Amino acid sequence: MDPFVLGAVGLGVVFILLFLGMPIAFATGLVGFAGLLLLKGVGAAGDTVAFLSYRITANYALTVIPLFIIMGYFAFFAGLTRDLYDTARKWLGHLPGGLAIATVFGCAGFAACSGSSAAAAAVMGKATIPEMRKSGYDPKLAAGVVAASGTLASLIPPSNMIVIYGIITEQSIGTLLIAGFIPGIVSAIIYALMLYLKVRLNPKSGPVTASVPWRDRLIGLKGVWGMVVLMVIVLGGLYTGVFTPSEAGGVAAFGAFVMAVAMRRLTWANLKESLLETGKTTAMIFAVLIGVLVLLRFFTLSGFTEAIVNYALGLQVPPLLVLIGIIAVYAILGTFMTALGTMMITLPLVLPVIIGLGYNPIWFGIIVIKMVEIALITPPVGVNVYVVKGVAPDIPLEDIFKGTFPFLAMDFLTVALFIAVPQIIMWLPNMMMAN
């Protein structure tokens, strides 16, 4: 069989296996190994898998993943995210849609302590959905805002998705994390503005709660100090060059641990859970990375990647149309693939095209992360929607999906804004590199 045809068949088989429910680590690893077996033989295929497995597990840069994950667990058990939400509720609850807006910024704060969207949706869902429903909020709105706002953890640093993008594309992880900060805040603000207008037009969907006295609001600001400290450690250290991403993760994780102990909120059971869940999540991410790298080596050796890149660059159309086409592919794949799977399979084929068209890979990385955020709330595979269903089982699944539709519209609007004004993404990284 022609090597290019073999690569194309391999890609098709991967999509079929994923559609049938096989985990991405096994689907990509098996197809990649089978392809290498046909191209190079048993010995070379085995050596490649062994080398790539060692390359992942021995890569110092990848220590940032478990460090950011465990930082999130320590921050959660320290109560930093709950305190942040309480502060946001005191300041914003009296506005139209105030509790929902507070949820958006509470999720943004959780994102600054953890890189997991699913964790953000689960934790914030337990804390906010009962309160919004008790205040008379439409259940669709209450569930939808949690599912959508949880996706902010994929964009606001420390983000595991951004770290994985940097590893796959061999771009600076520190620069990427800095690049995600302003777009993440802009996304949260756009959500908040949409909620304000939506509830202003339909007051019954989100009744206004009683205003909190200014004295209590000011006292409540003490609830944000822990999150601010962690954010300064990560972003400040990366921006000034004091820390590498791994060092920033280590210092921030230790800081979150000290806060949890000092507040007497970290029990032995919580510590055990933090370590076990960090180990499980890290092992899953590493397994996926190994499987995808094996598949990518097969694509490279077959010439499939080069052929795709040459075809795309040879199209006689404006680069913007190619970019829009790529974004459309991400939107379509997000309807039946997980966010991680979509990103890891497509990037090695798409990124060379993007660079060849003259686009900045750091800027494109944030666009990709925003698109895979959309996949987290897109039916029928939206992971965050199922997470919210788990914490609010009495709300029908279709209602939760309906509740996310306004946020999906805002996400596409945000992507268009990032394309039209690339400095929203690149301003901080350019300032960092200038310094």
Residues 6+ apart with CB under 8 A from 414: 183, 186, 187, 190, 370
Summarize the confidence of residues 334-343 as an average pLDDT.
79
Summarize the confidence of residues 30-35 as an average pLDDT.
91
pTM of the shown model: 0.86
**DSSP label at 379?**
T
* Polymer length of the chain: 435
Range of the domain at 374: 59-266+303-434
Summarize the confidence of residues 260-273 as an average pLDDT.
88
Q: Give residue-wise pLDDT tens across range 81-123.
A: 777 878 888 888 788 889 999 999 888 887 777 767 877 888 7
Asked if 82 contacts 121 with a C-beta cutoff of 8 angstroms, the reply is no
Structure tokens at 207: 């009744």
Residues 368 and 224 in one domain: yes
For the chain, the domain total comes to 2
pLDDT for res 142 = 92
**Cα 8 to Cα 307: distance, rounded to the nearest angstrom:** 10
Of the three residues 257, 278, 301, the one that is the final residue of a domain is 301
pLDDT for res 148 = 93
Q: Give a yes or no: residue 84 inside a domain.
A: yes
Write down the H helix ranges in 338-394: 339-356, 361-375, 383-391
pLDDT of 429 over the 80 cut:
yes
Residues 108 and 40 in one domain: no
Q: Give a yes or no: residue 114 inside a domain.
A: yes
Residues 350 and 408 in one domain: yes
Asked if 224 contacts 214 with a C-beta cutoff of 8 angstroms, the reply is no
Residues 224 and 346 in one domain: yes
Q: Give a yes or no: residue 277 inside a domain.
A: no
Residues 52 and 151 in one domain: no
Residues 54 and 87 in one domain: no
DSSP 141-181: HHHHHHHHHHGGGGTSSS-HHHHHHHHHHT--HHHHHHHHH
Residues 107 and 227 in one domain: yes
Of the three residues 278, 301, 324, the one that is the final residue of a domain is 301
* Burial (Cβ within 10 Å: 0-12, 13-18, ≥19) of residue 359: buried
pLDDT for res 1 = 63
Lowest-pLDDT choice from 134-148, 239-253, 387-401: 239-253
Q: Give a yes or no: residue 279 inside a domain.
A: no
Q: Give residue-wise pLDDT tens across range 275-308.
A: 998 888 888 888 888 888 888 888 888 888 788 8
Residues 423 and 337 in one domain: yes
Q: Give a yes or no: residue 280 inside a domain.
A: no
Q: Give a yes or no: residue 271 inside a domain.
A: no
Residues 150 and 17 in one domain: no
Q: Cis peptide leading into 158, omega within 30 of 0?
A: yes
Q: Give a yes or no: residue 200 inside a domain.
A: yes
More reliable by pLDDT, 140 or 80: 140
Residues 129 and 7 in one domain: no
Q: Give a yes or no: residue 276 inside a domain.
A: no
pLDDT for res 292 = 84
Structure tokens at 64: 């940032």
Residues 52 and 180 in one domain: no
